[in-house]
Chain A
Amino acid sequence: MTTATEPGYAELPRLISLMTGDDKHLAAAESTVDVLWVLYDRVLDITTENFREPGRDRFLLSKGHGPMAYYAVLTAKGFIDEAELATWSDPVSRLGHHPDRRRLPGVEISSGSLGHGLPIAFGTALGLRARGLTRPKVVTLVGDAELDEGSNHEAIVVAARAGLENLTTVVIDNQSSTRGWPDGIARRFAVEGWETRTVSGRDHDALYDAFTTAHPGRPLAVVAVVEPKG
């Protein structure tokens, strides 16, 4: 289960509250915070030293709204200076309500409009394969309501047919899709041929296992279930 004593992780609520002004308890409830932490702390090879290298892992935040947890993790990992968080969304800041890759080194895509991250990640995973870079992982994070956008489903079908083992989609499931997903979100991926794993979006060890257990010849979908959107 979640180990609140992990170095760095305990800092995240305070870093988030520097932006939101909310108390740290609310900050800890950010739906993406645990997934982002596990990815950057234990799964992905993305550092301030290698983030311009062709062989780095890629993380594409598709669900660009509510990026405070993302900025907090990037701060904990040295991409953003903590003092910058207080500038959040003001005219001189690099930190907007949707991230901008041209302004903030370490951010892989600019997002905000839903349904773009997974299709772009598909192209990047194909591109790395075409360049013979078989090691780097491409991970994209989407929300369960974001899956409403049909563009995702175009990518879900073709990524599986292409056998893109280097592609992972993590779906933060806070049950906020207006029409819902009968039989569960994982089924939407599984039927097309993805390896799927549904775990608690708060359980760091379960997330780590879900992200790192081998899935030969198939892309991976991790459904990270968190509390329903209030």
Chain B
Amino acid sequence: MLSMRETFLATTERILDADPDVAVVLADISAAQLAGAARRHPHRVINVGIREQLLVSTGAGLALAGLRPILHTFPSFLVERGFEQIKLDFSHQDVGGVLVSYGASYDMPTAGRTHQAPGDVALIDSLPGWAVHVPGHPAEARRLLLESIPGDGRVYLRLSAQENAEPHLGVGFTRLRSGRGGVVVAVGPVLDRVLRATAGQDVTVLYASTIRPFDAAGLRTAVLDAGTADVVLVEPYLAGTSAHWVAEALSDVPHRLKSLGVRRDTEIRTYGDIADHDLAHGLDAGSLALSVKDFLAT
């Protein structure tokens, strides 16, 4: 089966062949994989070299000329390096585009801090009106990409090497389990670990691959149905990135919240495998099980 990244590139190539209004902007990353598309569409596959500020501004300029741009590189370079370009050239100009990153919080586990971007969703979240998709499976990534092309919205699609065994193609929060002891929210690739961590526990498990807009009504309904307003939020990027939305959704419900995700208190300076980073951040199934049990028992 193709990875999320391979699925994205293959789907993008087909979109370019089918839709003359779509252009792709690259900064060397993935340029080799799209070389065939670049030969067929030399004016719509643009590799600016290792220039990420220009990558973002070029996309905005293409949108001003009436095209639908797809921008792609690693998240540390797409979102963090050119963030002012995202804020001004897309949001402030009020033009649309589809920003697609691959690499997530620590998908390149031996690469060190330079290639980790756990703050990307929080940064995008500081700007109004962006859709943020965090697919947990290649089939979700493909669907979310295809749905992002029509129109002129601003979309951030965060692809990862980590994925779940099965896709869930629902809109908003999908209730995968129902229980009375609390609500555990899993975003994107953490789902399978959350399901293992909560196996046998009397809790509701919600899943979303689209975290902005935030399905506040879905969360509120699930909490009221469970009858226990204890929420554990598990996100594969900075812990608590969606905590403000949970508070908003439950503003009229006395509740408790535990936010799990990539640690904010320290920079983890380790290499090894992705699983080693999961452990360091408490995002492996065993650590998640302990955190959930501990929180719901108190």
- Enumerate chain A interface residues (CB-CB to B < 8 A): 54, 58, 101-102, 108-110, 113, 115-116, 119-131, 133, 150-151, 154-155, 157-158
Alpha-carbon gap, A115 to B48, bound state (A): 17
State whether B51 touches A120 (Cβ < 8 A).
Answer: no
Interface flag for B94 (CB, 8 Å): yes
Chain B residues with CB below 8 A from A158, complex form:
48-49, 51, 54
State whether B61 touches A125 (Cβ < 8 A).
Answer: yes
State whether B94 touches A119 (Cβ < 8 A).
Answer: no
Contact of B58 among A108, A110, A126, A133 (CB under 8 A): A126
Known: A126-B43, A126-B46. A151 touches B54 (CB 8 A): yes
State whether A155 touches B88 (Cβ < 8 A).
Answer: no
Number of cross-chain contacts by CB at 8 Å: 99
Point out which of B54, B59, B94 has the most chain A C-beta atoms below 10 A from its C-beta: B54
Interface flag for B178 (CB, 8 Å): no
State whether B64 touches A120 (Cβ < 8 A).
Answer: yes
A113, closest chain B residue (CB): B88
State whether B48 touches A120 (Cβ < 8 A).
Answer: no
Interface flag for B234 (CB, 8 Å): no
23 A-B pairs whose Cβ atoms sit less than 8 Å apart in the complex: A54-B65, A101-B93, A101-B94, A108-B64, A109-B93, A110-B88, A110-B93, A115-B53, A119-B54, A120-B60, A122-B57, A122-B58, A123-B59, A123-B60, A123-B61, A123-B62, A124-B65, A125-B61, A127-B61, A127-B63, A128-B65, A158-B48, A158-B54
Chain A residues with CB below 8 A from B140, complex form:
none
State whether B65 touches A151 (Cβ < 8 A).
Answer: no
State whether B54 touches A154 (Cβ < 8 A).
Answer: yes
Chain A residues with CB below 8 A from B65, complex form:
54, 123-128, 130-131, 133
State whether A122 touches B61 (Cβ < 8 A).
Answer: yes
State the Cβ distance, A110 to closest chain B Cβ, in Å: 5
State whether B44 touches A130 (Cβ < 8 A).
Answer: yes
B62, closest chain A residue (CB): A127
Interface flag for B23 (CB, 8 Å): yes
State whether A122 touches B43 (Cβ < 8 A).
Answer: no
A156, closest chain B residue (CB): B54
Alpha-carbon gap, A123 to B44, bound state (A): 11
Chain B residues with CB below 8 A from A115, complex form:
53
State the Cβ distance, A190 to closest chain B Cβ, in Å: 20
Alpha-carbon gap, A157 to B63, bound state (A): 21
Chain A residues with CB below 8 A from B67, complex form:
127, 130-131
Chain B residues with CB below 8 A from A157, complex form:
49, 51
Alpha-carbon gap, A151 to B88, bound state (A): 14
Chain A residues with CB below 8 A from B53, complex form:
115, 119, 150-151, 154
Interface flag for B84 (CB, 8 Å): yes
Known: A113-B84, A129-B43. A119 touches B57 (CB 8 A): yes
Interface flag for B105 (CB, 8 Å): no
Contact of B85 among A116, A122, A129 (CB under 8 A): A116
State whether A124 touches B54 (Cβ < 8 A).
Answer: no
Alpha-carbon gap, A63 to B270, bound state (A): 44
Alpha-carbon gap, A198 to B44, bound state (A): 33
Chain A residues with CB below 8 A from B49, complex form:
157-158
Point out which of A109, A127, A129, A131 has the most chain B C-beta atoms below 10 A from its C-beta: A127
State the Cβ distance, B253 to closest chain A Cβ, in Å: 37
Q: What are the 6 tightest A-B residue pairs by CB atom distance, in nearest-first order?
A: A123-B61, A127-B65, A119-B57, A123-B58, A154-B54, A154-B51
Alpha-carbon gap, A122 to B65, bound state (A): 11
Chain A residues with CB below 8 A from B63, complex form:
123, 127
A118, closest chain B residue (CB): B57
State whether A116 touches B51 (Cβ < 8 A).
Answer: no
Chain A residues with CB below 8 A from B269, complex form:
none
Known: A122-B58, A151-B54, A154-B51. A127 touches B64 (CB 8 A): yes
Chain B residues with CB below 8 A from A122, complex form:
54, 57-58, 61
Alpha-carbon gap, A203 to B58, bound state (A): 33
Interface flag for B230 (CB, 8 Å): no
Interface flag for B92 (CB, 8 Å): yes
Contact of B61 among A110, A120, A150 (CB under 8 A): A120
A112, closest chain B residue (CB): B88
State the Cβ distance, A8 to closest chain B Cβ, in Å: 28
